[in-house]
Every structure is written in C-alpha cells, then in structure tokens.
C-alpha cells in the first residue's frame, strides 16, 4: 500500500506542469541510522543499558535465591515431614511466581522506556527534518524503508546533514 502511495506522489510530482522533474528536490533520511548515531539516541541507549544492568543484577540475585531454595528442598525433602515439605514447596512456588512477575515487569518497563525514548527522538527529529527541507528547498524527504523503497540513489541521502543539525539543535 505504501509503495503505491509513494509511486502516486512521484507521478504527481513529475506530471506537474509548473515544475520540471529537474526542479524537484527529493531526499531521504535513514531513520534507523539517524536514531543510532544521534547524541540523543546514544544517550537513550546508555540509560537503557544502565537500567538493564540494574535489573539483571536483581534477576541474578533472585535466581540465586531460587536455586538455593530448590537445592534445600531437594536435599531436605525426604527428611522433612509432609507438612514441612509442602510448606517449603509452596514457598518456592510463590518465590518463583514473584521472580517471573518481576522479570516480565522489568522487560515491559524496559520496552516501554525504549519506545518512549524512540518516540520522543523521532518527534524532535521530524521537526528538524521539516526545517531542513524548507531551508534547503526540498519538495519531499522520505524516511528510508528498505521494504518500501526498491531503489534509492545515495546522492539523495540527507541523513548526515539532518543528523548534524539535530545534534546541534539538541545541544541548545
């Protein structure tokens, strides 16, 4: 569907009687590269990595605790009364559920933060791209998407220029 929209826009642009094809400036931005190489993107990655390490340390501690409980249960299981063994098994199952819930919550939180950082950076980058396009006389600047763009001339790549402008804008 997006391919047809792109082709339609290009056809309209080329068919316009007031402007020849040579007068129309078209560019693209590789958004993934821009996200990864921007100062804001690098900072977001660092923040996510720090959160991941914190969670990983907690997960490792909880895993060690679970392993100890399981080992105790296996070693002492035959020596304990039925009631005591059932109590230890229940305790282990409860801690296992808590561990699984914690890891799921941590994963959801990290994914949410990643999406939040990405959305914020993309919104700010979109403003910079629009300004860049207006200032430099571009009729169109597309987001590069390999599944939609079958061929793109590297001369139309304005990613580095936009990235430089974005980084300068973010420093202000």
Query: pLDDT tens across 123-165, in order?
Result: 999 999 999 999 999 999 999 877 777 888 889 999 999 999 9
Query: What does the buried/exposed string (b/e) look like for 49-63 if buried means 16 or more CB atoms within 10 Å of the residue's CB?
Result: eeeeeebeeeeeebe
Distance CA(147)–CA(53), nearest Å, equals: 34
SS3 content of the chain, % helix, strand, coil (to 5): 75, 5, 15
Q: 148: how many CB neighbours lie within 10 A of its CB?
A: 14
Per-residue pLDDT at 20: 53
Per-residue pLDDT at 15: 45
Per-residue pLDDT at 151: 84
Distance CA(134)–CA(46), nearest Å, equals: 33
Where along the chain do its domains lie?
2-171
113 Cβ contact partners less than 8 Å away, ≥ 6 residues apart = 47, 48, 51
Per-residue pLDDT at 61: 94
Per-10-residue mean pLDDT of the chain, 172 residues long, equals: 49 47 84 94 96 96 92 80 85 93 96 96 96 95 83 90 92 75
Per-residue pLDDT at 145: 78
Per-residue pLDDT at 150: 80
């Amino acid at each position: 569907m997006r391919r047809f929209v792109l082709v339609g826009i290009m056809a309209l642009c080329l068919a316009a009687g007031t402007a020849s094809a040579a007068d129309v400036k078209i560019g693209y931005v590789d958004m993934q590269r821009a996200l990864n190489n921007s100062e804001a993107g690098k900072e977001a990655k660092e923040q996510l990595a720090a959160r991941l390490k914190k969670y990983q340390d907690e997960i490792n501690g909880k895993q060690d605790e679970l392993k100890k409980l399981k080992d105790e249960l296996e070693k002492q299981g035959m020596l304990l009364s039925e009631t005591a063994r059932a109590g230890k098994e229940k305790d282990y199952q409860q801690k296992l559920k808590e561990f699984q819930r914690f890891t799921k919550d941590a994963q959801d939180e990290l994914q949410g933060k990643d999406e939040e950082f990405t959305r914020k950076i993309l919104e700010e980058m979109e403003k910079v791209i629009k300004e860049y396009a207006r200032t430099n006389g571009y009729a169109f600047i597309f987001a590069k998407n390999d599944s939609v763009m079958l061929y793109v001339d590297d001369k139309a790549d304005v990613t580095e220029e936009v990235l430089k402008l974005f980084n300068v804008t973010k420093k202000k």
